[in-house]
Amino acid sequence: AFPQTPEAAGLLHDAFPDGFLWAVGSAAYQTEGGWQQHGKGASIWDTFTHHPPGLPRDPPLAGRPTGAPSSSPPATGDVASDSYNNVFRDTEGLRELGVTHYRFSISWARVLPNGSAGAPNREGLRYYRRLLERLRELGVQPVVTLYHWDLPQRLQDAYGGWANRALADLFRDYAELCFRHFGSQVKHWITIDNPYVVAWHGYATGRLAPGVRGSARLGYLVAHNLLLAHAKVWHLYNTSFRPTQGGQVSIALSSHWISPRRMTDHGIKECQKSLDFVLGWFAKPVFIDGDYPESMRSNLSSLLPEFTESERKFVKGTADFFALSFGPTLSFQLLDPHMKFRQLESPSLRQLLFWIDLEYNHPPIFIVENGWFVSGTTKRDDAKSMYYLKKFIMETLKAIRLDGVNVIGYTAWSLMDGFEWHRGYSVRRGLFYVDFLSQDKKLWPKSSALFYQKLIEKNGFPPLPENQPLEGTFPCDFAWGIVDNHVQVDTTLSQFTDPNVYLWDVHHSKRLIKVDGVVTKKRKSYCVDFAAIRPQIALLQETHVTHFHFSLDWALVLPLGNQSQINGTVLRYYRCLVGELVRANVTPVVALWQPVAPHQGLPGPLAQRGAWENPHTALAFVEYARLCFKELGHSVKFWITMNQPPTRNMTYSAGHNLLRAHALAWRVYDENFRRAQKGQVSIALQADWIEPACPSSQKDKEVADRVLEFDIGWLAEPIFGSGDYPHVMRDWLSQRNNFLLPYFTEDDKKLIQGSFDFLALSHYTTILVDWEKEDPGKYNDYLEVQEMTDITWLNSPSQVAVVPWGLRRVLNWLKSKYGDLPMYVIANGIDGDPQETEDKLRVHYIQNYVNEALKAYILDGINLCGYFAYSLSDRTAPKFGLFRYAANQFEPKPSMKHYRKIIDNNGFLGPGSLGRFCPEEFTVCTECSFFHSRKTLLAFLACLFFAFIISLSLIFYYSKKGRRSYK
């Protein structure tokens, strides 16, 4: 396993080495079609698809061409993508991609219909010659596979296929024909593709052609013959053709990656065994010593054939590079479950490359097949495939740059949609879309093709200006804040307010014993008596923040939902909290309502009477807001009416009433409290960014706009925009005969529009959306949107994506929609791993999100006034806190110290930069000044001072009188 810093786990901005081979591939049976054209012989796949053996529970073929009627015959490769008749079409696709290499396979049965080296099929040879000539014109180098699973059927019938060792000589003869006819134009040859699948599923399980359900012994025998056949062809080329043609020959080996279920010696050994049984089965004889892995020998006993000494020498070293195939053909589909040895399979290409590099003596590795798949119904916006492609290429780059693995080339699979073996046409793997029911079979570039083309053009992921960190500072009055949405109200008073008398039992229990019936006069309590407030203030002072954002508990203040019962103790606690905050020079930012359990943060009676569905809740909220403004407003200058209303879990009528409640509360403050208190009021919206999964897709852009309007615009447009709901919402719902979205009266519009003093948003992550339905579990039928993530993104333990640039984009989107408003990022944070003491992920998160906020301020001209980190401590927000909480103790995490450093610098200072000088400002609070809050103490001190003056006067008087008497 690699030590994963956030930077190493995320996107690596770097380029591939000069001369890196960029390729795309295809296989003859999957794409050529023309199964009986111009004298082509039948292959085992022709027979297998025309006469499927009908395996129980696991049919060998699944799916038909998209749109095919249910009466269609089983899926075959008879026509497929019709590449045999479309050489120019295919090579134009290569030209569009800009690849340097094209991997394709030669159909053995097309050039030798009977399989043996008799008279070759001239039309078949002419087809491949035309293809090679066209590649030469384009400057694309061929990578030619001699055998990609389509054995001539006659050889299967006459010899029993690869179960007969005689096929090795026939394969050698076929290879010699290909070397003679095409070798002058080919510098990379692959003898056999994926011998594991050919041997195990062709001759042991029977899942693939030729469908022989033999024993495990037969599978191992076939693999043995395949290795000998490969070695014969390599030696043939090495001896007879390499001196004149100067090419290289290898065998394409497929593998999975496996991780220990538990990180124990046994688990690690089982993983090694799994890789030995799949990849090492063929790689060790070829790349190491000509024999099978020891783990196979010790576990399989007599099932595994023996190499003679001469055969070992003959097989050893028969590869000029390591040709690796990695992807869904084997991983998660055709890997025999028993060969996992109860360990965990994962699609980690980087770790596999690193293992191959160590295990097989640092060979040059050419990835000759890699990619993923999408549903057969997906057309051109194949976001899932595109992001897997990005992930695999990124892992390849990391293997090269970070791990020192010698990867020389990469092949995306495949050029076009085709017949996908045991899955028929139920999935698609092409970079180009093919409508299999059309006559011309035109190639249409998918989003993955456009992505691959741009990546090849840039030769990787070079650093872009927008990816570079920005140096600079925020304005002097920038609000640096921290959030605690669930601040605990602890009204327990200190011990000094206890009127009881105690005796100390010094001889026995060593405890205080209450004296019954004896009490002292109970003194008046003060804010300092609330024991929970001072420690919280101390934590905030340690962070150096200027603002603290927390939410009041409506249900605690007004248990019945109205002012018939006011919890004076709780209200006084809040009054003391905001007072102490101001005294500590921390500005309170107070939210009136936070949707939390139970009852969505509402008083029980209101929740029982329909919650926000009931219009009376809005009126009750206004009275609650009026009470809070009156009791706390002298110390609170920033109010949030509604904190992050959950638009994704809220009915339209509830949202309608919530908007009216907010606007009414804002009007109450504006008309009755603003002049005296001079505060500001707004609503805080949840505003995660929504990004089109396929940037080139107009439909994905439309989907992203739709989701943004439903997520953010629903509440933002009436307040900050037109006073009405977004047109996108209304139009979308009307098209679907959904008329549940209420209408505002003209008076409502006037009431709601402009009911803000600033725009506050909480932002945590970015979500990708696609219009194609790929994963039903994450598909929103209501909005017709597929949600997904870029699998190269860094993720938190709860799988929240870390996408700093999303914050900048949502700020710009809000500015473009609602103008140059003062904005506050009122909450921004992520969960961390409690066991990770260095807190690297949260340090990375804060560093990069704040830097994107700085870019929005400096580069984009966003009127950004503040940033608030979420959250204060793990006590109220487990895993999100800047302070750990254990055993009633708070401990600062590294992320807190990093945030404090950013605050102290007011941004990001460059080397040697002095930064901007900002004079420290203090907020004056008449209600909570030293003199105002300690009136009794001051009176007592005044009495003492007065008594002292009287005493001095008397002493002076009598001393003077005494001297006079003495005289």
* pLDDT for res 946: 77
The mean pLDDT value for 692-699 works out to 94
Q: Given a cut of 90, is residue 59 above it in pLDDT?
A: no
Does 479-490+536-908 carry CATH code 3.20.20.80? yes
The DSSP secondary-structure symbol of 742 reads -
pLDDT band at 486 (very low <50, low <70, confident <90, very high): confident
Q: Could you tell me which residues are beta bridge partners of residue 802?
A: 794
Question: How far apart are the C-alpha atoms of 661 and 52, rounded to whole Å?
Answer: 67
Sign for the pseudo-dihedral over CA of 756, 759, 762, 768: positive
Q: What is the pLDDT of residues 138-179, one digit of tens each?
A: 999 999 999 999 999 999 999 999 999 999 999 999 999 999
Of 449, 437, 426, the residue nearest 377 (C-alpha): 426
* pLDDT for res 10: 82
Question: How far apart are the C-alpha atoms of 813 and 15, rounded to whole Å?
Answer: 31
* pLDDT for res 616: 97
Q: Given a cut of 80, is residue 925 above it in pLDDT?
A: no
Q: Cα–Cα distances in Å, from 525 out to 191, 487, 939?
A: 89, 22, 16
Q: What is the pLDDT of residues 405-440, one digit of tens each?
A: 999 999 999 999 999 999 999 999 999 999 999 999
Q: Given a cut of 70, is residue 380 above it in pLDDT?
A: yes
Q: Given a cut of 70, is residue 817 above it in pLDDT?
A: yes
Contact 896, 883 (CB under 8 A): yes
Question: How far apart are the C-alpha atoms of 409 and 244, rounded to whole Å?
Answer: 24
735 exposed, middle or buried (CB, 10 Å; 0-12, 13-18, 19+)?
exposed
Q: Given a cut of 70, is residue 47 above it in pLDDT?
A: yes
Q: Given a cut of 60, is residue 748 above it in pLDDT?
A: yes
3-state secondary structure at position 497: helix
Question: How far apart are the C-alpha atoms of 757 and 103, rounded to whole Å?
Answer: 62
The mean pLDDT value for 305-318 works out to 98
Contacts of residue 725, Cβ cutoff 8 Å, sequence gap at least 6: 713, 714, 717, 718, 741, 744
∠ CA 718-720-721 to the nearest 5 degrees?
Answer: 65
Question: How far apart are the C-alpha atoms of 872 and 501, rounded to whole Å?
Answer: 38
CATH code for the structural domain at 6-52+75-458: 3.20.20.80
Question: How far apart are the C-alpha atoms of 363 and 283, rounded to whole Å?
Answer: 11
pLDDT band at 503 (very low <50, low <70, confident <90, very high): confident
CA 729 to chain centre: 28
* pLDDT for res 519: 72
Q: Could you tell me which residues are beta bridge partners of residue 416?
A: 432
Contact 204, 214 (CB under 8 A): yes
pLDDT band at 920 (very low <50, low <70, confident <90, very high): low
Contacts of residue 274, Cβ cutoff 8 Å, sequence gap at least 6: 256, 258, 339, 340, 341, 343
Contacts of residue 794, Cβ cutoff 8 Å, sequence gap at least 6: 6, 9, 10, 801, 802, 841, 844
The mean pLDDT value for 891-919 works out to 86
**DSSP string covering 176-236, please?**
HHHHHHHGGG-SEEEEEE-HHHHHHHHHTS-SSTT-----HHHHHHHHHHHHHHHHHHHHH
Q: What share of the chain is helix, strand, coil (3-state, %, to 5)?
A: 45, 15, 40
Q: What is the pLDDT of residues 780-816, one digit of tens each?
A: 999 999 999 999 999 999 999 999 999 999 999 999 9
Contacts of residue 302, Cβ cutoff 8 Å, sequence gap at least 6: none
546: which 2 tokens?
């200027």
The mean pLDDT value for 514-522 works out to 72
* pLDDT for res 62: 43
Contact 863, 870 (CB under 8 A): no
Looking only at the bridges linking them, the beta strands covering 801-802 and 794-795 are: antiparallel
The CA-to-CA distance between both ends of the chain, in Å, stands at 103
The mean pLDDT value for 551-564 works out to 96
165: which 2 tokens?
């060792």
User: pTM value?
Assistant: 0.88
Q: What is the pLDDT of residues 299-310, one digit of tens each?
A: 998 899 999 999
Write phi, then psi, for 875 (nearest 5 degrees): -65, -45
Give the residue with greater pLDDT, 859 vs 928.
859
Residue whose tokens read 């053995």 = 108
- At position 363, the amino acid (one-letter code) is P
* 51 half-sphere exposure, CB direction, 13 A CA radius: 7
Residue whose tokens read 């101390």 = 538
Indicate the helix (H) or strand (E) that contains 927: none
* pLDDT for res 511: 80
Question: How far apart are the C-alpha atoms of 514 and 519, rounded to whole Å?
Answer: 10
Residue whose tokens read 């496996």 = 258
Indicate the helix (H) or strand (E) that contains 259: strand 258-259
217: which 2 tokens?
């012994």
Q: Given a cut of 80, is residue 524 above it in pLDDT?
A: no
Asked if the domains 6-52+75-458 and 479-490+536-908 are classified in one and the same CATH topology, the answer is yes
The percentage of the chain sitting over the pLDDT mark of 70, rounded to a whole number, equals 92
3-state secondary structure at position 267: helix
Q: Cα–Cα distances in Å, from 599 out to 561, 594, 611, 612, 665?
A: 12, 11, 8, 11, 21
The DSSP secondary-structure symbol of 463 reads -
Contacts of residue 55, Cβ cutoff 8 Å, sequence gap at least 6: 206, 207
Contact 203, 163 (CB under 8 A): yes
The CA R_g of the chain, rounded to the nearest whole Å, is: 37
Contacts of residue 206, Cβ cutoff 8 Å, sequence gap at least 6: 53, 55, 212, 213, 214
Domains of the chain: which residue ranges? 6-52+75-458, 479-490+536-908
pLDDT band at 6 (very low <50, low <70, confident <90, very high): confident
Indicate the helix (H) or strand (E) that contains 509: none
The mean pLDDT value for 635-654 works out to 96
- At position 790, the amino acid (one-letter code) is D
Contacts of residue 109, Cβ cutoff 8 Å, sequence gap at least 6: 40, 41, 42, 43, 115, 150, 151, 152, 153
3-state secondary structure at position 684: strand
Phi-psi region of 600 (alpha: psi -120 to 50; beta: other; left: phi over 0): left
